[in-house]
Structure 1
């Protein structure tokens, strides 16, 4: 594996839930911009997604991905992050709640502690509903490229490209959005 290649099996995710005091929302947004910028500079940083509350809400969820657990731990243990957490604490109602995940289950982690995650069958159905259409559409979108460049049409290169075009949007865009959209169904008994 190349020195700068990412082993997708080692990617870890830090999920942080912050319930912000309503009068501190503007200050929190400014703090969040600085914190996201600081995290982006860390070795192994792969991306940040911020799930903002719906109108009138105050629960922010920040999802930070790192290439390796050691790199994430270095960020968590850093003096810079400790100073940022001390700075934000007065703006929060319930403190800083970091959770580390090394798999896709973070999509289904409830925003509030003490709430059970949805049943596995609901997680499977929602994941299937997202991935299935993509497995039908993405290969068709690549078909003209594979016709024009036969070297890419081989089993290995074509599957690598198609899978990449499915996994990246699912992890970074679609599943976070779909789980928010379906939150009521996921949490219903």
Structure 2
């Protein structure tokens, strides 16, 4: 709808969706958008998707012709039921912000600052050192059984590949979760 209204109000709804629940949230989002579009005074909705590690972020910008019609939507039983249904999928609940006027400018959530490099180096060292000592010992029986695998280049490649795969897919995610508090930039 291209027609502008002098009293246009904007509702900004921010949701942070728990890991692995984004598909269910998207299904719910389609339902609530359809329901909101049937409310008197509804002028349209925009959805902005963002991603952080382990969290999908959704910002929905809804426009209504008046504050009264917007508040009717916020207080409606339909919205209350739909929000109650989605709350278990959210990290921080249903976050609302109302702005007067036809234009609404907003700044997306700030991107999380990465941990200091020295902390990243410490965690990486703690993960890689034990693996670099252990993996040659674990591969040794196979190298003895199959002599052509013990070729220096081939054995080094197999050991390195094993370390890289274990670091990337298993041990670094575990170490990052275990040391999450210490890795935050504000903890020196």
| Class of the TM-score when normalised by the shorter of the 2 chains | 0.5 to 0.7
Alignment check: 8 A CA contact 2:14 2:96 kept: yes
Q: How many residues align?
A: 108
Hey, which of these two has a bigger chunk of helix by percent? 1
User: Over alpha carbons, which structure has the higher Rg?
Assistant: 2
- 1:84 is matched with which residue? 82
Deviating beyond 4 angstroms after TM superposition, the runs of 4 or more aligned structure 1 residues are: 54-57
Hey, which of these two has a bigger chunk of strand by percent? 2
- 1:40 is matched with which residue? 37
| Alignment counterpart, residue 70 of structure 1, candidates 65, 68, 71 | 68
Report the TM-score, using the length of structure 1 for normalisation.
Answer: 0.52
RMSD: 2.2
Residue 27 of structure 2 is aligned to residue 30 of structure 1: yes
- 1:94 is matched with which residue? 92
User: What's the offset of the Cα at 1:83?
Assistant: 0.4
Structure 2 unaligned spans of 5+: 111-188
Quickly say closer, same or farther: Cα 1:8–1:111, change in 2 above 3 A.
farther
Report the TM-score, using the length of structure 2 for normalisation.
Answer: 0.53
User: What's the offset of the Cα at 1:52?
Assistant: 1.1
Structure 1 unaligned spans of 5+: 1-5, 113-189
Distance (whole Å) between structure 1 residues aligned to residue 12 and residue 21 of structure 2: 21
SS at match of 2:104: helix
SS at match of 2:60: strand
